[in-house]
Structure 1
């Protein structure tokens, strides 16, 4: 196995990198944070003796520390576990002359304006969009396209910072949040796009050198930004192989990946798109990393491959475990994030009675919450499987009704 510099802020207690990778003590130089290894110091010393702890993971100084560690240990590859590291890792590869995703590819998969420009130029349908570098750009976009519209960070993930604007009062409220925003109101940071009406989907899998190795689409229950706004659950179900939208979405994913700058080594990807009444897919965005929430867990249940693990191992030089396109999920599967309510949590007194539903409580009794705070915020998660996609949906509906009547917020 080659020596790898690994950028990761994932907690070792919940993301067992030492189990996912081979010979970590000899081959992995880990750059991480004290918070990520809290309670796992012995594991860190045993599995990652070549490590660098950084207090502020997103500080510019981390890039310098990572390059120094890479040169000191003579690494052959750079790998990362989070979308926020995609560009940082790419820049390091270019500076050190190492293989993998470079800056042109990383920028196209991170900057939502660049990715939409490339997709639109290739004839792939995208919403009307524009870079928003000052408030007048936003007003120009409204004059041209009207309401409703969506304003989002160009480099965001998980619906962070996304705002749906339907009136001028919403515009005023968005502009008034400048001081509280984690994303600076500066040129190059924001974009606007027309609001798209339609069902929302995602396609996940592994790509290599501008082509899909394997992938499968799934349907969300709704938009992620709307979930945070309305404090609701969000769910996803893998589409059936005979669903007409399966082939449509697989074809769109292949077209998008073909037109964006390619990465020579395998990477996981996560694409989101809408399909409206005209049955034509509209691309939302694509990322060169595994999908969040339980996307990778459901993919593993259906196809035997955990996309986050497979994507990370591929970045570290390991061979792919799955190299062909499966014909169907086996079993059919989906996931749901059950939302935190307002008040003190009283979990259900009895186990979940829905067959094929695997519930995981994330909050303890008495935990105080005030609704959904971010796109993947949950009081509990569940993976649901069945013989068909339709049966998964029925079981999921039963699960959510049971949760509504059994979990309490006092």
Structure 2
């Protein structure tokens, strides 16, 4: 049984790593936070006796603590569960001479400028883009490419920090928020790219050595993920039918991107996002070497029997894969919907969800104060929707959203004022 150092800030109550890793959990050195183990202190003590608790998870000190623990216990592997840990895990592997995703691969999957440069050089369609290391870089890009344009953190996730620049006021607003930004306004941190008009998709699966082991594309609803943060709206996604004309181009794009970027000898989950415009050809938005968020992993488990976050972690820890090849078209497709919090004290719907295909979970307690959508995957309730076709999934998702907005109540409070 290999010993594994595992970076994870996921709450043990919501992501039971000890159950996911079954008999391999005893060999895991877990690096986590006090907040992540609240309510699961007994699990931590029993399942992960070699753990390390770090007070400031994103600080450089965490890497020092992790390396000291890895050397103390002579670990054989390094694993991670979140996108923010992909690079630090790769750096630790390099220092210890351990197998797995290396720093070149981790950088290509994390740094969106490096990612798009490699993709463009391989002939893959990407938006016009540039690194933004100073205000002049941004002004030069806007002069060359025009507006609308998008500015985003190079190492960001979940659309946090993304701004759409449609006019001079948007540029001024982006520059003015420097002091409140979680991402520093420093070289190497920001990029700009042209705005792409089109429908927005994601492709999820498992990969190894620069090739997809299996994958399936899905389509976000028309608002898109950045729009959700702006409008405090719901967000939905549904798997595509195998016969959808966009299925093939998205799968070809996925295979091309995986082949172009530096690969990993260890199997990893991946999450790719792309647009398709009027010409029917996909344009790469980005790709990550981890499972997609929201209920993407749960939707795949519902249809294919594989939970991508669990499968990706188990593979990093040396366990065999559950599924090793592309599955046939399933009898049913799945999708998911994140339903937003409003502003005020939550009054749950008085009646059960009337949409038979929706498996609804309410995340807020009655009376809990909602402040809108504060981060991408936050929801007052969410649901998996399963049906025989993508059109049916969409239909049920629309019915679900209409019911939620009519049935959920929000009593105004002073602390929830937008």
- TM-fit CA distance, 1:38: 1.1
Task: Say how many residue pairs are matched.
Answer: 410
Q: Could you tell which deviates more after superposition, 23-32 or 174-183? A: 23-32
Task: Give matches, 1:45-56, under 5 Å.
Answer: 45-56=45-56
- For 1:57-72, what aligned pairs fall within 5 Å after superposition? 57-72=57-72
**What CA distance in whole angstroms lies between the structure 1 residues aligned with 2:243 and 2:358?**
24
Answer yes or no: is 1:141 the counterpart of 2:141.
yes
Deviates more, 1:77-86 or 1:21-30: 21-30
Q: Does 1:400 align with 2:406?
A: no
- The aligned residue for residue 34 of structure 1 is 34
Partner secondary structure for residue 284 of structure 2: strand
- The Cα of 1:364 is off from its aligned counterpart by 1.4
Are 2:243 and 1:217 equivalent residues in the alignment? no
TM-superposition CA deviations, 1:14-33 (whole Å, max 9, x none) = 00000000334531111111
Q: CA deviation at 1:346?
A: 1.1
Q: Which runs of 5+ in 2 are unaligned?
A: 412-418
C-alpha distance in structure 1 between counterparts of 2:41 and 2:390, whole Å: 43
Counterpart CA distance in 2 for 1:251 and 1:25 is 37
Question: Which residue does the alignment assign to 2:164?
Answer: 164
Matched with 1:343 is: 344
Find the aligned partners of 2:367 and 2:17 in 1 and give their Cα distance.
32
Alignment of 1:204-353 (within 5 A): 204-221=204-221, 222-353=223-354
Matches within 5 A, 1:14-29: 14-24=14-24, 26-29=26-29
The answer to whether the 8 A contact 1:147-1:167 is kept is: yes
Contact 1:241 1:327 in 2 (8 A): no
Q: Partners in 2 of 1:344 and 1:191 — Cα distance?
A: 38
Runs of 4 or more consecutive aligned structure 1 residues displaced over 6 Å after TM superposition? none
CA RMSD of aligned residues (A): 0.9
Q: What is the aligned partner in structure 2 of residue 380 from structure 1?
A: 381
Q: Contact 1:224 / 1:375 at 8 angstroms: preserved in 2?
A: yes
Unaligned regions of 5+ residues in structure 1, if any?
none
Q: Secondary structure at 2:22's aligned position in 1?
A: coil
1:127-185 Cα distance to aligned partner (Å, 9 max, x none): 00000001111000100011101100000000110111101110000000000000000
1:14 is paired with a residue of what secondary structure?
A: coil
Report whether the alignment pairs 1:87 with 2:104: no
Task: State the alpha-carbon separation in 2 of the partners of residues 79 and 136 from structure 1.
Answer: 39
Q: TM-score, normalised by structure 1?
A: 0.99
